Amino acid sequence: MDIFRGLKSFYWQDKPFLLGSVLGLAAATALGLVYPLLLRTLIDDMILKGKYEGVLQLALLAVGIVIVKAISQFVSGFSGSRLGNRLAYRMRNACYAKLQELSFSFYDTARTGDLMSRLTADIEGIRQFLGFGLAQLLNTVFLVLFGFGMMFFLDWKLTLLIVIIIPVLCFVAIRFEQQIHPVFRSIRSAVGRLTTSVQENVTGVRTVKSFAREPFEVDKFSVNNTEYSERNVEIAGVWARYFPAMEFIANFSVVLLTVVGGWRVIEGQMTLGDLVAMSSMLGIIVAPLWTLGFIINNYTMSKASGERLLELLNQPVAVRNEESCLILDDEAVKGHIRFDDVSFRYASREDQPSALAGFDLDAPQGSVIGILGGTGSGKSTAVGLLLRAYDVGEGSLTLDGVDIRHLELQSLRRQISIVFQESFLFSTTIKENISYGVPEATMEEIVEAAKLAMADDFIRELPQGYDTIVGERGMGLSGGQKQRIAIARAFLRNPKVLILDDSTSALDMETEQEIQQSLRQVMKGRTTFIIAHRISSLRHADEIIVLDRGRIAQRGKHEKLLRQPGLYRETYRIQFADRPEELDQAPLDAAAGAERRVTG
């Protein structure tokens, strides 16, 4: 019950609904038990005695009871579903808010599918239990107490005999739950695998088709399909074993009642009406007991769901605001960035060397910093720290002289615009995608940003222009087109610090050059970080930093780096080997020679 105590804040303010759902159901059940009593009166006191004058009143009373019962039933169901719905609403909002708060390091290891199922299936599990299961569980308990109480009152000896079926039914119900629970879980994971296999197949269709691997894909799918099918048959097997058995036990109790009760009627120890009423009551009592197994299962599953939700809600947030954090005044920010002996290691890769070590950098307002380096050299890590996607391990990182850990997170990020390596577009119009983060932007500003990012032309050629819906369910765009929209998005924000993380890789040469031209305009007065593989993008930086396995290997301006042996010069040779005149003679000869060696 700890789990439900932990979730109390989500449902406790709806106590009236909880009460309504339980009491309504109890009332409906109690009234259901009255019906057999009426039947008894009809047989014993009217028909058998030949006094028919009260039949009409009795019949109307029966109808009246049915109506009241129906109303209580509705009250119970209505309250239960309101309770469940409100609970689901609050929990979903809380989880969503938590997701917004969790840091990049959480998302580095989290799986989308897993988070999705917490926010959907797990919340649904809790809704089902607190909305309906709990009331049913309590109702079953009431019903058994009530029903047997009344039967006891009618004929206690007979009742004592019948009561023995209760532990038997409970035992069977618990066994059922124990067997069905693991199967439910295996179905859940089978569904997951089936979905993943189709999803991968469809998103990777180009790869599948280009390797002509359709038959293999069909086989792979078939394995998952069979697995899913078998699990379903398995669950039906458990169901087939238990459900008829439970029904038999329940029926057996009625038969037992009939034979013993019938004998007692023959002996004159009991009236016929009592017997009919008791057997009718017994039928009402045992009905919910069949479903006891399901209710217990519902409870254990929702307990597990609650655990997963609490785990998410209590997840520690790696990067958070300090208590007395500073909110930046947007106008006053200059954009002077300083890295002072910064080191960082990813929490998820503790066994590996630091992602960044002893990183020093001074980027005054308006300067352009270029970063070059291989995969895993720490380029993206450096800009991630600047964004406070992660907090620095050692050393300090300051904006205008203030350690960014003292700044309010959102106000820091408002100063920075970043274009990520993999451009992500939301499912909305291109216009909304560009103005993401600047809701007050005018259409002119949006078009202006798109023009600077060389996106205006292709956007206008789309069927709905700027109103074309993109994203997963929208119009398919090429990698280069997506990148240009992401660049326009960053330009529009008018930030103090601009970060381009390898954001022009998918563009063709001409477009890239055009964007470089606009960049010069956009970069004016802003501190800019450019991570790139192309010398043409880095060439004009005030300082170029070459990273190698987390450490600064070389730094300086283009001309200086060209004179030093190292990655920068190597890259230059590969990319510009045919333009020797531009270089001064010394490194040039070596370059030409190296080029011939490389290309054969």
Partner 1 sequence: MSRQFVYQDDELIAKPFNWTQMGRLLGYVRPYRKGVAKVVFVMTAFGMISRLAIPLLMSIAIDRAIRPKDGPGSVSLLLWLVAGMLFLYGLRWWAQHYTIHHTNVIGQKVIFDLRSALFKHIQSLSFRFFDKRPAGSVLVRVTNDVNSLQDMLSNGVVNSVIDIAQLTGITIILLALNFKLGLAVMITVPIMFVVSSSLRKRIRHAWQVVRIKQSRINAHLNESIQGMRVTQAFAQEKENMSFFDGMNKSNIRSWNRASALNQTFGPVIEVTSAIGTLILILYGSYLIQSGIMTVGVLVAFVSYVGSFWEPITRLGMMYSQVLISMSSTERIFEFMDEKPAVPEKENAQRMPDIRGDVRLENITFGYELDRPALKGIDLDVKAGMSVALVGHTGSGKSTIINLLCRFYDTIEGRVMVDGIDVRDVTLESLRSQIGIVLQDTFIFSGTIRDNIRYGRPDATDAEVEAAARSVRAHDFIMHLPDGYDTEVQERGNALSVGQRQLISFARALLADPKILILDEATASIDTETELRIQEALGTLLEGRTSFIVAHRLSTIRNADRIIVLDHGVIVEEGNHEELMKRPGHYRNLVDAQYRFLSA
Residues 125-144 that bind partner 1 (CB under 8 A): none
> Which tokens is 8 given?
């109390």
252 binds partner 1 per the rule CB under 8 A: yes
Residues 405-444 that bind partner 1 (CB under 8 A): 409-411, 413-414, 416-418, 420-422, 424, 426-429, 432, 436-437, 439
Minimum CB distance to partner 1, residue 341 (Å): 25
Residues 535-574 that bind partner 1 (CB under 8 A): 535-536, 539, 567, 570-571, 574
513 binds partner 1 per the rule CB under 8 A: yes
Task: Work out which of 145, 164, 174, 205 binds partner 1, going by CB under 8 A.
Answer: 205
Residues 391/307, Cβ–Cβ less than 8 Å: no
- Which range in 50-58, 143-151, 173-181, 320-328 contacts partner 1 by CB under 8 A? 50-58
516 binds partner 1 per the rule CB under 8 A: yes
What's the CA gap between 245 and 236, in Å, rounded?
Answer: 14
Residues 103/317, Cβ–Cβ less than 8 Å: yes
In sequence order, the 6+-apart residues with CB closer than 8 A to the CB of 455 are 481, 484, 485, 487, 488
Residues 523/537, Cβ–Cβ less than 8 Å: no
493 binds partner 1 per the rule CB under 8 A: yes
9 binds partner 1 per the rule CB under 8 A: no
463 binds partner 1 per the rule CB under 8 A: no
Minimum CB distance to partner 1, residue 332 (Å): 18
What's the CA gap between 146 and 284, in Å, rounded?
Answer: 11
Minimum CB distance to partner 1, residue 436 (Å): 6
Q: 């009331």: which residue's tokens? A: 135
Task: Work out which of 155, 217, 274, 456 binds partner 1, going by CB under 8 A.
Answer: 217
Count of residues touching partner 1 (by CB under 8 A): 175
120 binds partner 1 per the rule CB under 8 A: yes
34 binds partner 1 per the rule CB under 8 A: no
590 binds partner 1 per the rule CB under 8 A: no
Residues 278-307 that bind partner 1 (CB under 8 A): 280
472 binds partner 1 per the rule CB under 8 A: yes
160 binds partner 1 per the rule CB under 8 A: no
What's the CA gap between 134 and 569, in Å, rounded?
Answer: 71
211 binds partner 1 per the rule CB under 8 A: yes
Task: Work out which of 34, 506, 553, 588 binds partner 1, going by CB under 8 A.
Answer: 506
What's the CA gap between 207 and 202, in Å, rounded?
Answer: 10
Minimum CB distance to partner 1, residue 504 (Å): 9
580 binds partner 1 per the rule CB under 8 A: no
- Give whichever of 444 and 461 is closer to partner 1, judged by the CB atom: 461
Count of residues making up the chain: 600
Q: 């002289």: which residue's tokens? A: 401
Residues 342-371 that bind partner 1 (CB under 8 A): none
- Which range in 179-187, 286-294, 443-451, 507-515 contacts partner 1 by CB under 8 A? 507-515
What's the CA gap between 63 and 229, in Å, rounded?
Answer: 47
Residues 303/184, Cβ–Cβ less than 8 Å: no
Task: Work out which of 112, 324, 521, 585 binds partner 1, going by CB under 8 A.
Answer: 112
122 binds partner 1 per the rule CB under 8 A: no
Task: Work out which of 16, 182, 364, 479 binds partner 1, going by CB under 8 A.
Answer: 479
> Which tokens is 488 given?
């326009």
What's the CA gap between 251 and 339, in Å, rounded?
Answer: 79
Minimum CB distance to partner 1, residue 364 (Å): 23
Question: Which residue, 25, 24, 18, 4, is CA-closest to 288?
Answer: 25
In sequence order, the 6+-apart residues with CB closer than 8 A to the CB of 590 are none
Task: Work out which of 170, 272, 304, 325 binds partner 1, going by CB under 8 A.
Answer: 272
Minimum CB distance to partner 1, residue 319 (Å): 9
What's the CA gap between 156 and 141, in Å, rounded?
Answer: 19
Minimum CB distance to partner 1, residue 301 (Å): 19
HSE value, Cβ hemisphere, 13 Å, CA-based, for 252:
13
Q: How many CB atoms lie within 10 A of CB 335?
A: 21
Task: Work out which of 3, 30, 34, 46 binds partner 1, going by CB under 8 A.
Answer: 46
Please give the sequence-ordered ranges of beta strands (E in DSSP) within 309-435, or none if there are none: 337-344, 356-363, 368-373, 394-399, 402-403, 416-419
Give the three-class secondary structure for 429. strand
What's the CA gap between 415 and 330, in Å, rounded?
Answer: 7
Residues 306-335 that bind partner 1 (CB under 8 A): none
232 binds partner 1 per the rule CB under 8 A: yes
Question: Which residue, 362, 361, 343, 367, is CA-closest to 353?
Answer: 343
Task: Work out which of 9, 13, 189, 196 binds partner 1, going by CB under 8 A.
Answer: 196
What's the CA gap between 337 and 257, in Å, rounded?
Answer: 87
- Which range in 3-11, 215-223, 296-304, 355-363 contacts partner 1 by CB under 8 A? 215-223
Task: Work out which of 534, 544, 552, 569 binds partner 1, going by CB under 8 A.
Answer: 534
Residues 470/427, Cβ–Cβ less than 8 Å: yes
Q: 């879980």: which residue's tokens? A: 185
524 binds partner 1 per the rule CB under 8 A: no
**Single-letter amino acid code for the residue at 64:** G
Residues 70-109 that bind partner 1 (CB under 8 A): 70-71, 73-74, 77-78, 81-82, 84-86, 88-89, 92-93, 96-97, 99-102, 104, 107
Minimum CB distance to partner 1, residue 182 (Å): 18
* CA 48 to mean position of chain CA atoms: 66
> Which tokens is 600 given?
């054969």
Q: What secondary structure letter does DSSP report for 407?
A: B
What's the CA gap between 300 and 306, in Å, rounded?
Answer: 10
206 binds partner 1 per the rule CB under 8 A: yes
Task: Work out which of 111, 314, 332, 444 binds partner 1, going by CB under 8 A.
Answer: 111
